[in-house]
Structure 1
């Protein structure tokens, strides 16, 4: 038979060709020269620590995909490296990562490259890209088992510093390996905060917008950074510093290699050291620098105010609103706030409008770099800022100082902080009241306010008194009905104990308190649950309970190992009953059933019970109580 005319042979040949397709096998750790990665395919490091593939950051609803690396063994997907952080792709089905012309390249549809390792073109026949178990993604020469590394992600980090990687300064090229924060939780594009090794020093700095330095670790003394003294208590990280003619760098390892840990330049502007806790399924913050969020330069943006006591930390000044509400929802406050109403100063369209005014803001950490103005009085200082249209605020102390342009690094201090000052913020007149109230109107308002408070308090007191009296009347009626019922059951119960020989007939006279059955006490205390347990004494545990009438009680349960028997229990009931006094906690009843011996006291909140009774009264022996009565 002619093979060329055999359709089945041709079809078999077609499937053989498909089987030789150069797509990557799922789970491998290497992309070879004739392979590619696309769609939902991933590669996994040999030890299973890391995984690399396409991902979508955060909870974004946008179809933005990135090539990135994350922990394989951490249940909360945590990205540690991103390739195309500035140029996402929208279709991972037509996007591929492969080796081309000696580089690792990400192509989108139409074979357009959008990210590359950027090496000089060479033959790519023997090259391979390998995801190592330490989180380093390398492009290396695989010919003759040379394993020469041509490019590695450790030299091109994004926002995460992994153990074993370098944070370095190249002494020859004068270039830094920097950690740069994400823009926000849903956008891995470079943000405005970066951590880098300072040139010609052994210290780290955090910079804002590539220029403004706002935190310094201090020099390395061989064990710690001098301005980070809490490193002395470090039991996770082992840092080391190397400096030579080619480079200066820090690296770190973990004392316990089984710990999963990382250092991150966070979008908050803080450098954070985190460790994964499998028991809580969360990243535990080990240390952050700067120590407080409000120390981060311009964290709340122009005309934003930082408050360390509130969440979120940032809010807008009076008369201002968030420039980008969507960014604020993603904890990106860098755009700050904008005026709601334009100022009258310098605005021709408001020439006939009311003059701008000032809003007093006490106890503020003041912005940096004010301009000193040579005027003596506070009114002259105010007038200067009012007439200078670029002036946005002023302060007045020993001298007059004004601020021109955006206000940055404003912070609301607590009343305990004495380092604050008063800032006078310029606002449009419509943002403030038209005129300050007169002394006469202020006095009238004060009188009206005080009178209203007195009337309100009196009304509330009357309502409380009426409800209290009504409740007392209702409780008296309920108690009368319950007392008859309890006494009836109590008499029969005591007689039963006499018949059994556990009590003498003369003891019956002393047990004239209400008897409660064990089941009702179990219901009142939630079956003696730990949530209702008030404390523990030598007598035994004490529980909080509530009777069906709503009355709260303290239930004292005799411990079987307390050493007290029925006789001692009965003596205590008699003695405490004789001590009934308005200034002492009242004994409401008792229970003797099987091995259970229980006393029911009036419940006193705010520690009155355990302080007044359990601290001294309940632990007194019957002999001492008897002597007190005498």
Structure 2
């Protein structure tokens, strides 16, 4: 009996010494740890809560050289302490007097000397014998003891991310409760209080994830297109993690899962405005960067302004889309692209020469702030709907799997587009009829220089009578001199002419393809300000009347029997 009393007394002394050591030297981590805290039980600084499989532990820590104390969760078996979640980031404790308690209302409460520092809030759920458990996923949960549904939590840390995303953690929004699951950068490695850089879902009609700094958009992943986020096609089919995107009437969120359960990976956002996907390399005993965002300069939000597209392989990374020109040429030339681009010709939603669409391939689609989505219709019906709405500027499939399905339409200026080197989507952008003809001409194998109307007007002295070479049924021909000194002849289609854009296009295609030593060379065209111009080289060694005859011949080639016209033109030597 005496020996038993001595053994019990020795065990009490040992337990007391271990508690003292844990409090004084918490970094030794030799404390006895549990995986749950029952009602009214508490955890002091120096104690640990460990998940059943030993993957994670919860306790008090001090980041870097800081002396302030925080409650957090970190990997248990990784020697470099890697914190994945912080409870009281905004309210640190100055010493080791912190106590974490689960109360009868099913809430965790962190106190210091009797003052509340941090607490959970699950007052809207029925509480019966609550317990706290740290799961092997890294999720700290409060649940009712004996609850048959393993995911019926009163509260969970996964709903309140810190600066890191773990496998299975939802990043997005619960539409039923309004809960927003965002993750926010620490202010610094030694200060885990929330900074002003964060990742967030914007629940537009075509939802998107953004990296923000305050209210400013830093980076946009692009909307989910059924296979990947539009701006990052290289994230699909990687060997580390799988992507799962859910969008329904209840929730919109992104989560990732591990391809191999043995891999340890984490996604972290920091105050510099970057996110890093780290993978733990056991052999090196170190974290290795697997992916980081922004991937390149073109991922900078809105870099090229409205109707500008960014392509990292170009020396001048920002380019105006075809049919657009820099709004401020001077600023654009100095690599200030923020003012973006404007149309060369105005749209015409109604009338004879109506708008249409030009297909742009391999794109990160524009910012989806002002969009409309209908997943029940296909691409052709989407085109019809967009064309009938004068405010619709672009459309494409909302889901690109297979042959594509669904419809998304953009309204307002198109911004934050990127020409991807691999992958990307087809985007159909609204264009005036004149640009449609140019696009069709290029696709038909005719590559001509497009002249600005003002430069041709200047070259012909504003189409003065003194420069007129002749006149036909479809318009007049003028002599001109370009700024580089080249002499030209300009056919100006008459506004009263019956020749429309189709006939004009046919003429351009025919003459551009006809290469004959006796025919005048077509240099280019201009379709601006309701003007249709053809620019030919002027044949300096021929008389003007001979040149006029050549032009008339060319005009007739479209509107006479071709063989007869060809015989007439062939006599020109």
TM-score tier (shorter)? 0.3 to 0.5
Structure label with greater radius of gyration: 1
Could you say which structure has the greater relative contact order, defined with CA pairs below 8 angstroms and 6 or more residues apart? 2
Q: TM-score, normalised by structure 2?
A: 0.46
More helix by share: 1
